[in-house]
């Protein structure tokens, strides 16, 4: 197992053109005394939409690291993969996010469920966990219900993990994450405990787990829900993880992973407080927030850059249903709040950047436009060289926006 550094931060580089600007944020953070390891992540879904290969993400990351003289660790995440999609990620990646959200609820063999219950009497009854005031009261039927819900998913995660190890020539020199976030119902802390027991039984050296937390983690916009409820759940999850590490011999590097973790400004103070209080590690997974900064940069540049940003918005508006469909569980776009093509056509640079840049206190900010553009990267991909050339023509202003967004709006509030 490759040990996962304590603080890792996932960055997505949709068009393999932003790694330098992203890495610049980690370099600035390090100067401030915050040691964060970059993890370049790009899911199979994003590669398919753009028509790119994981090896290109690796090349862009390696080049940025070499060019900027980054001497710290960095990782490449095969994000949200499963058995049928993992193969092209094996060689370039050293971090694997085993996505079993779709397998939740699929029934395991009754004999496996019975064996799990028999093996884990410690999960039944009153369970006192250090750091959680109220002990969990878990009945045998709770364990059975949770096993029926999640055991099959952990078995599938094990199959992906074993497949990656075999494909890597029997060498387990990578970080393993299990993700269950892209699903409708959140997993409660007692469920997380049962899931971690099952993952340990499966022999998966899990170092990060991405549960679905309470509330909405929509792409590119702030958390929707009760931040205090989130804080309670997050702290209980941290306590459950520490307990599971001790009880089930899971790696001591095991930590929470917050997916769609960009832009969740209203919960960052609680995450920061929790990791500082407990000394726990953290993985924050962000991706599309970086591509949105590319558009902000183009719009801010004015002229042809602004015109291209408007073109992308207008085309995304025409295809809003199709673009939204693959992201149904992680976006909430109110179509009625989307400005019309004619309105946006008349916008100045400032009007466009006010609407898109994630500064919720700005009266021009429009979370619906932001989410639509978040899923609108397919439009930019279809523009091919035109889009890439625009990024190159405006590289300085685009890079500034990418770096400032990561450093000022994400890293500092979370870690400083
Ligand atoms: Zn996810």
Give the DSSP letter string of 399-411. HHHHHHIIIIIII
**DSSP structural state of residue 327:** G
Ligand 1 centroid to Cα of residue 123, in Å, is: 28
Which of these CATH numbers, 3.90.1150.10, 3.30.70.360, 3.90.550.10, 3.20.20.70, describes 7-288?
3.20.20.70
Secondary structure of 124-175 as H, E, C letters: CEEECCCCCCCCEEECHHHHHHHHHHHHHHHHHHHHHHHHHHHHCCCCCCCE
> Are the CB atoms for 41 and 12 separated by under 8 Å?
yes
Residue 360 has pLDDT above 90, yes or no: yes
CA-based radius of gyration for the chain: 21
Residue 326 has pLDDT above 90, yes or no: no
Ligand 1 centroid to Cα of residue 343, in Å, is: 34
Ligand 1 centroid to Cα of residue 318, in Å, is: 27
Tell me the C-alpha to C-alpha distance, in Å, between residue 127 and each of 82, 135, 138, 201, 236.
Answer: 33, 5, 8, 19, 13
Ligand 1 centroid to Cα of residue 101, in Å, is: 9
Ligand 1 centroid to Cα of residue 185, in Å, is: 14
Task: Read off the pLDDT of each residue in 220-231 and give the average, rounded to a whole number.
Answer: 97
> Are the CB atoms for 179 and 259 separated by under 8 Å?
yes
Ligand 1 centroid to Cα of residue 40, in Å, is: 14
Ligand 1 centroid to Cα of residue 197, in Å, is: 21
pTM more than 0.85: yes
pLDDT of residue 161: 98
**Domain residue ranges in the chain:** 7-288, 292-401
For the chain, what is the mean pLDDT? 96
Query: CA-based angle 196:197:198, to the nearest 5?
Result: 90
Ligand 1 centroid to Cα of residue 258, in Å, is: 8
Q: Residue 97 pairs with which residues in a beta bridge?
A: 177
Distance CA 76, CA 91 (A): 10
Ligand 1 centroid to Cα of residue 330, in Å, is: 9
Ligand 1 centroid to Cα of residue 412, in Å, is: 23
Ligand 1 centroid to Cα of residue 331, in Å, is: 12
Ligand 1 centroid to Cα of residue 393, in Å, is: 32
Distance CA 392, CA 308 (A): 13
Ligand 1 centroid to Cα of residue 7, in Å, is: 18
pLDDT of residue 133: 93
SS3 state at 95? strand
Ligand 1 centroid to Cα of residue 145, in Å, is: 24
> Are the CB atoms for 225 and 183 separated by under 8 Å?
no
Ligand 1 centroid to Cα of residue 78, in Å, is: 12
Ligand 1 centroid to Cα of residue 181, in Å, is: 5
Ligand 1 centroid to Cα of residue 342, in Å, is: 35
Instruction: Indicate the pairing of strand 95-99 with strand 75-81.
Output: parallel
Ligand 1 centroid to Cα of residue 209, in Å, is: 10
Write the pLDDT tens digit of every residue in 15-57.
Answer: 999 999 999 999 999 999 999 999 999 999 899 989 999 999 9
* Residue in the block written with tokens 């679905």: 212
Token digits of residue 298: 């183009």
Write the pLDDT tens digit of every residue in 372-414.
Answer: 999 999 999 999 999 999 999 999 999 999 999 999 999 999 9
Residue 259 has pLDDT above 90, yes or no: yes
Ligand 1 centroid to Cα of residue 271, in Å, is: 18
Ligand 1 centroid to Cα of residue 179, in Å, is: 6
Ligand 1 centroid to Cα of residue 302, in Å, is: 34
Residue 231's Cβ-side half-sphere holds a number of Cα atoms within 13 Å equal to 12
Task: Read off the pLDDT of each residue in 117-134 and give the average, rounded to a whole number.
Answer: 97
Q: Is 277 exposed, middle or buried (0-12, 13-18, 19+ CB in 10 A)?
A: exposed
Task: Read off the pLDDT of each residue in 265-282 and give the average, rounded to a whole number.
Answer: 98
Ligand 1 centroid to Cα of residue 102, in Å, is: 12
Write the pLDDT tens digit of every residue in 131-179.
Answer: 999 999 999 999 999 999 999 999 999 999 999 999 999 999 999 999 9
pLDDT of residue 185: 87
Ligand 1 centroid to Cα of residue 180, in Å, is: 7
> Are the CB atoms for 350 and 302 separated by under 8 Å?
no
């Amino acid at each position: 197992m490759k040990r996962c550094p304590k603080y890792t931060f996932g960055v997505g580089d949709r068009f393999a053109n932003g790694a330098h600007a992203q890495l610049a944020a980690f370099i600035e953070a390090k100067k401030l005394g915050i040691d964060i390891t970059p993890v370049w992540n790009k899911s199979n879904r994003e590669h398919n939409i753009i028509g790119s290969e994981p090896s290109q993400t690796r090349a862009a990351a390696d080049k940025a690291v070499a060019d900027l003289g980054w001497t710290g660790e960095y990782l490449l995440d095969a994000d949200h993969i499963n058995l049928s999609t993992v193969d092209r990620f094996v060689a370039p990646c050293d971090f694997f996010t085993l996505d079993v959200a779709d397998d939740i609820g699929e029934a395991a063999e009754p004999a496996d469920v019975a064996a799990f219950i028999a093996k884990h009497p410690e999960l039944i009854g009153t369970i006192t966990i250090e750091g959680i005031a109220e002990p969990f009261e878990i009945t045998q039927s709770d364990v059975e219900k949770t096993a029926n819900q999640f055991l099959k998913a952990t078995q599938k995660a094990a199959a992906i993990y074993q497949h990656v190890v075999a494909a890597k020539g029997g060498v387990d020199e990578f970080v393993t994450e299990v993700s269950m976030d892209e699903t409708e119902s959140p997993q409660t802390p007692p469920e997380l405990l049962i899931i971690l027991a099952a993952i340990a039984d499966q022999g998966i050296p899990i170092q990060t787990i991405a549960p679905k937390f309470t509330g909405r983690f929509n792409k590119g916009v702030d958390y929707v829900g009760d931040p205090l409820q989130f804080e309670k759940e997050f702290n209980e999850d941290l306590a459950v993880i520490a307990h599971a590490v001790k009880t089930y011999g899971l790696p001591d590097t095991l930590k929470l992973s917050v997916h769609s973790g960009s832009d969740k400004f209203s919960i960052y103070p609680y995450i920061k407080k929790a990791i500082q209080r407990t000394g726990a590690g953290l993985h924050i997974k962000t991706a599309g927030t970086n591509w949105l900064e590319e558009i902000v940069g183009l719009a801010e540049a004015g002229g042809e850059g602004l015109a291209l940003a408007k073109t992308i918005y207008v085309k995304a508006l025409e295809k809003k249903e199709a673009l939204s469909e693959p992201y149904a569980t992680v976006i909430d776009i109110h179509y009625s709040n989307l400005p019309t093509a004619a309105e946006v056509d008349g916008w100045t640079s400032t009007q466009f950047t006010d609407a898109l840049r994630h500064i919720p206190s700005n009266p021009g900010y429009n979370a619906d436009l932001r989410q639509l553009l978040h899923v609108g990267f397919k439009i930019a991909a279809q523009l091919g060289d035109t889009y890439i050339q625009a990024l190159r023509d405006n590289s300085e202003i685009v890079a500034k926006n990418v770096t400032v967004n990561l450093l000022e709006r994400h890293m500092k509030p979370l870690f400083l």
